[in-house]
């Protein structure tokens, strides 16, 4: 039960951060998008390495 509430709190705080970032005039969307893309590519590479380790 405590895990659920902790996860809900995390979700709520990340939603707040997203809202603040979207309304912040100094927020650089291109920089944010680049960082997200980098994280996704890194995760994909990790997954591919894990998959090739099984072969």
| pTM (whole model) above 0.85 | no
pLDDT digits (tens, 9 = 90+) for 1-55: 444 554 455 555 555 555 555 567 788 999 999 999 999 999 999 999 888 877 6
Handedness of CA 8, 11, 13, 16 (dihedral sign): negative
The residue extents of the domains of the chain are: 2-54
Going by the DSSP 8-state scheme, the letter that residue 28 receives in this structure is -
- The pLDDT, as a whole number, for residue 26 is 84
Structure tokens at 2: 């405590």
- The pLDDT, as a whole number, for residue 14 is 52
| Residue found under tokens 């680049």 | 34
- The pLDDT, as a whole number, for residue 1 is 47
Q: What's the Cα-to-Cα distance from 33 to each of 21, 22, 30, 38, 55, rounded to whole Å?
A: 12, 13, 5, 9, 33
Handedness of CA 29, 34, 40, 42 (dihedral sign): negative
């Amino acid at each position: 039960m405590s895990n659920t509430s902790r996860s809900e709190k995390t979700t709520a705080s990340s939603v707040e951060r997203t809202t603040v970032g979207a309304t912040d005039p100094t927020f650089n969307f291109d920089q944010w998008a680049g960082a997200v893309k980098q994280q996704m590519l890194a995760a994909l590479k990790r997954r591919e390495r894990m998959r090739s380790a099984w072969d």
